[in-house]
């Protein structure tokens, strides 16, 4: 991982500290209770729901199928900007069809280093260029041929959504 880049990003984000709120709560309950205030404050809301596929194995408080579906039905009705990250799963893509979906690549290094693909889903425009894998990832973790195939598949998925 790039320690200097992470430090730089944290420092940049910290300059917005007085404007940020982090809430640990069920998204649907929180938004229903605080939606009016969120609209009045011209907020951008970021959701980080439990993973769809691995959620029960990873989280004490995970979503069942009905909760994932409820979130997918409710969030697009919001009148303020929102963005969420979700695991890249066909069911999630189908739940959020009609929304802006951008694949992103993330470095994971818990047990072993690997690159995973997740989805950013939003009601605002997301620039695909901003979320491409870094050159570091490209060179160290993929064979060039496999990387090109992954990029092509990612672009095809983006176009099909």
User: pLDDT (tens digit, 9 = 90+) per residue, 95-108?
Assistant: 888 888 888 887 76
Terminal CA-CA length for the chain: 31
Distance CA 155, CA 121 (A): 15
Burial 77-97 (b: 16+ CB within 10 A, else e): eeebebbbbbbbbeebbebbe
Which 8-state DSSP code applies to residue 110? S
Q: Is the pLDDT of residue 51 over 70?
A: yes
Global confidence as pTM:
0.66
Q: Identify which has the larger pLDDT, 103 or 109.
A: 103
Residue 161's pLDDT band, with cuts at 50, 70 and 90, is very low
User: pLDDT (tens digit, 9 = 90+) per residue, 63-92?
Assistant: 788 988 998 999 999 988 999 988 888 988
The residue assigned the tokens 């195939």 is: 149
- E strand or H helix at 45: strand 45-47
The residue assigned the tokens 């909760």 is: 67
Which 8-state DSSP code applies to residue 48? -
């Amino acid at each position: 991982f790039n320690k200097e880049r992470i430090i730089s990003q944290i420092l940049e984000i910290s300059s917005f500290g007085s404007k940020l709120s982090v809430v640990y709560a069920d998204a649907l309950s929180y938004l229903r209770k605080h939606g009016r205030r969120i609209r009045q404050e011209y907020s951008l809301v970021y959701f980080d729901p439990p993973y769809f596929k691995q959620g029960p194995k990873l989280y004490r408080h995970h979503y069942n199928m009905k909760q994932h579906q409820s979130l997918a039905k409710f969030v697009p009705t919001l009148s303020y900007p929102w963005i969420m990250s979700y695991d890249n799963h066909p069911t999630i893509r189908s739940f959020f069809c009609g929304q802006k979906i951008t694949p992103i690549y993330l470095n994971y290094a818990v047990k072993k280093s690997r690159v995973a693909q997740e989805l950013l889903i939003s009601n605002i425009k997301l620039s695909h260029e901003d979320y491409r894998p870094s050159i570091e990832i490209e060179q160290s973790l993929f064979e060039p041929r496999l990387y090109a195939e992954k990029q092509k598949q990612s672009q095809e998925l983006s176009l099909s959504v």
